[in-house]
A and B are shown apart, each in its own frame.
Chain A
Amino acid sequence: MAALKHFLLRVVVTLLLLAVPVLGVWTFTEADRWGLWFPPIVSSYGASIDKLFYLILWMVTVTFIGTEALLVWFVFRYSKKDPTRAIFTHGNHKLEMIWTAIPAVLLVIVAISQMEAWTTVKMNFPTEGPYTPEKPLMEVYASQFDWRVRYPDAQGNFTGADVIEVPYDITVPEDTKVVLRLKSRDVLHSFFVPTFRLKQDAVPGMDIPVWFEATEPGSYDLICAELCGWGHYKMAGKIHVLPKDEFDAWLAAKRAALYATD
């Protein structure tokens, strides 16, 4: 009876531990079907970020399955009632060297492989083309609890009576390197566009350039990703990507609408 109980306990514990890698990997393979995976990529650099995610995912999965499998096997195998004593060892220098050196090399490779994508998104701003950090397409003002975007007037000024100010909806041209300057009127906010793989905090007192190139027309969620107060969950926006000519027409219509009298 006691032996049966012990066996049952071993089985239960082993199954529980086994469930971790099995269900763990399974949920990752099924996640896409449940809508629990990345939203589509619609920015030029989105794919490079996802690629790095998958690179790490593969490394992590192999390590995860390997270590968890060893754990499950050891726990099952060595929890058997056995009157003999355990293997008496205090370690193995060679093994330690191996399992320090190999991960070290892999981790350095991971670290180096990240750098290009990071500099692309955050450091290398467009220097030519219609929009540059000095001559952005728009200024985005974050405040409790909405997004306002300012397009310059026909002369390219961001101040003055004829600038265009739009709440919530941000319209940008397709296939164009768009630069915006991100500002906060009050507290911290964060400009997060999941489909662009883009996130940048807005900090009061700072004027932070952000760039992206949208590759697909459509409307995409803009979400505030930094706690900005009680209404944080309300702080939504939409980014509308229009083909270039439609964007120009839209901007012209916006400028004209400023002088409507309805």
Chain B
Amino acid sequence: MIQCRNRRAAALAAALSFPVLACEFNPGAAELSYSLNRPVIEQNQDLARDAGAQAQLAGALEMLFGTAASPRFLAEPEWIEGGFDPNYWGEDLVKNDDALRASLEASNRATFAAQIAAIEAGTFDAVARPRHADDLWGWWEELKAEKSGDAAGLKSEGIALFAEYYPSLRASAALYRNQCYHCHGAEGGGDGSTSAFLEPRPRDYRPGKFKFTALKGKARPRHEDLFRILAEGIYTTAMPSFRRFSDAQLHGLVDYVRLLAIRGETEILLASFYEPDEGLNFANVQENYLDVVSKWRAAPEQLIAFEGPVPESTPERIAHGRALFTTPGDKGGANCVSCHGEGGRGDGPSVNDPKQSTDDWGRPIAPRDLTRGVYRFGRRPIDLFRRIYAGINGTPMPEHIGMTITENGQQRTMTEDDIWDLVFFVRSLATHAPAVAQHGGGHGGDLGGGH
């Protein structure tokens, strides 16, 4: 009887102490897996019915890019010979650039200040596990095991390990899963669970179409372009600044976003080569892959470079910019007025034209109200210059360089100087505070929005 009672008491005590014991418990991250680009598959009815070909497509993609839990590029031998390994794309880029490397290290030293201090103090077991850096932790544990007994070596190499940290694709995928997945989706399709409620929708990386770059035409974005978006966010959209993560982590996210984009674009290409009778055309796999990667590698060449200081803004140049801005296209102007309106408030006549107010993703889009001084990809003159120069990919905002205009009865193409004049005019419009609600009798036009 007494024993039975003791046992019961022990069971009760055990049950009550389980919160303490349970603290050791650590669930793994949820498995995330890539699925195929459904809309693309559905476009081709034969492919949509052909489960075998879909499996082949998924297999080909896995061969090239690995799995969601363990993503990687299939590195072509000639790339490696040429000193290019896509698995270290960002890392090589950052570490070969002195300024970037220095800021990476400074950011790492700030992020891992506690860890580095512990290593410097020689208290190696007090080094806390950093969040979102499982790879770094693994390397550190390895190093600790390797250098056991060699405190000095562990100290110097340990500090270097933390200070020079650059995340692996795998760690970046985990961070993506944590921070980006719910909007951008597992495959970067912009179709995460929250995406349906955002305006504008999160970017679908897969068609290779990115709005905000410093590049000409429809070039794929550079590493720096994507990094800037992550660091600064896109004002007036749900894309926030992710500066609270270290530079290394943001670089890593850029790497992973690039992988997803290349993967998605390759997938679309492969699907387009599907023949109902032959199945997936495997001969094309490598070719398409090389093609897409080369587009991304070529991006930096497309930079809209401008040497020297920003030209002086003069009343004459602003007046010229105004003329270009307000003259409709059929009168030989730059036609900005048709969307942005006479006063640049984003209320031009084409706002009511469904074709002119829908973007490539089929979403309604409004021209920017330029009086607010809110620009989504930077407010520096050079940013506006590039925006007007190249337009905004996927939107009705066209490329202006080389656009045909008529002035003084003469037809000519628009030059960089014309674009600067437009920039100066646009800058002169920014006279209002960013759209902010107010009490009392406001006016209906005081509304922000825009693309």
Binding site for B on A (CB under 8 A): 139, 141, 143-146, 148, 150, 158-161, 163, 165, 167-169, 183-186, 204-206, 219, 230-231, 234-236, 238, 257-262
Contact = CB atoms under 8 A, between A and B. Distances in A.
B373 A145 contact: no
B18 interface: no
Contacts of A259: 309-310, 380-381
Nearest to A148: B235
Interface of B: 110, 179, 194, 197, 231-233, 235-236, 238, 240-241, 243-244, 306-310, 373, 379-382, 427-428, 430-439, 448
What 4 A-B pairs are tightest by C-beta distance, nearest first? Answer: A161-B427, A204-B437, A168-B241, A168-B243
Contacts of A143: 235-236
B235 to A, nearest CB: 6
A165 B232 CA distance: 10
A146 B430 contact: no
B436 A183 contact: yes
B436 A184 contact: yes
A16 to B, nearest CB: 11
A260 B243 contact: no
13 contacts: A145-B238, A146-B240, A146-B241, A159-B433, A160-B430, A161-B373, A165-B379, A167-B233, A167-B243, A185-B236, A219-B110, A231-B238, A236-B243
A151 B431 CA distance: 15
Contact of A160 (B194, B243, B373, B438): B373
Contacts of A144: 238
A236 B244 contact: yes
Contacts, number: 90
Nearest to B303: A262
Contact of A161 (B197, B235, B238, B428): B428
A194 B68 CA distance: 38
A167 B238 contact: no
Nearest to A236: B244
Nearest to A258: B380
Nearest to A139: B433
A163 B308 CA distance: 22
A159 B431 contact: yes
B241 to A, nearest CB: 4
A144 B380 CA distance: 23
B380 A204 contact: no
